[in-house]
Amino acid sequence: MKNESRKQWLSYLATADENYLISLWDNLNMKIEYNWLREPEIGSVMVQGKAGVTGDNFNVGEVTITRCSLSLDKKIQGHGYVQGRNKYKSKIAALCDALMQTEKKEIIKRNIIDKLIKYKNNKRNEILSKTEATKVDFFTLVRGEDK
């Protein structure tokens, strides 16, 4: 398993719309045995900015995060770090992370991760195309005294 691909699926799970992720998971109707390593807990991550884009780091404020960890058997662990305060979303993310390391990988990829990617891309395209429609070309007028 490459870190790059795990980074990708963890990122899409973390930032998924919670209702969408829950409906995708519930539709799969999978019964998975697992043990908690850490039960879901709600916390926060401090978000850092940079003064003047390139200067010193500074704390902007916190964002709510829910996390949990579980294992399918002794070898395979899943971690669910997600944005927001939804414990079920966090558990689904951890289960998906674990299952992506098993022979069920294809099912999860096709039915969940790929759909999350598509969902996010659609949102992105929607914003970009609306923003583009507000593109403006200002022009300055020649004033009388310049003639």
Partner 1 sequence: MYVSVKGGEKAINNAHSWLSEIRRGDVNIAELNIKQISEQLTLSVDRVMSEGSLYDKDLSALAIKQSRGDLIEAIFLVRAYRTTLPRIGSSKPIETGKMLCLRRISATFKDIPGKQKLGPTFDYTHRLLDFKLLADGEYEKAKIEKYDDKEIPHVLSFLNKEGLIQKEIPSGKTSKDITRNPINFPLTRSERLQSLSRGDEGFLLGLAYSTQRGYARNHAFVGELRTGYVEVQFEIPELGIEINIADVMFTECESVNQFKGSKKIPAQFTRGYGLVFGQLERKAISMALVDRSMRWKEFGEEYLGVAAQDEEFVISHCDNIQATGFLEHIKLPHYVDFQAELDLVRKIREEYKKNEQRT
- Considering the complex, what minimum distance in angstroms separates the CB of residue 54 from partner 1? 5
* Contact status, residue 36 vs residue 57, Cβ threshold 8 Å: no
Please, which residue, 53 or 142, has the CB nearer to partner 1? 53
**Nearer to partner 1 among residue 24 and residue 82 (C-beta):** 82
Name the residue nearer to partner 1 (CB basis): 15 or 27. Answer: 15
**In whole angstroms, what is the distance from residue 54 CA to residue 48 CA?**
12
CA-to-CA separations, 76 to 38, 43, 69, in angstroms, rounded: 14, 25, 11
Phi then psi for 96, rounded to 5 degrees?
Answer: -65, -45
Q: Which is nearer to partner 1, 7 or 31 (CB)?
A: 7
What is the smallest separation between the CB atom of 137 and partner 1, expressed in angstroms? 8
Q: Give the shortest CB-77-to-partner 1 separation in angstroms.
A: 8
30: nearest Cα among 107, 137, 131, 124: 107
Smallest distance from partner 1 to CB 64, Å: 4
Contacts of 39 (CB under 8 A, 6+ apart): 68
Our CB check for partner 1 shows the closer of 24 and 68 to be 68
Q: In terms of C-beta density within 10 A (0-12 exposed, 13-18 middle, 19 or more buried), how is residue 73 classed?
A: exposed
**Is 51 in a helix, a strand, or coil?**
coil
Question: Which residues bind to partner 1, rule: CB under 8 A?
Answer: 3, 6-7, 10-11, 14-15, 41-65, 67, 69, 77, 79, 81-85, 124, 126-140
CB of 45 to partner 1, least distance (A): 5
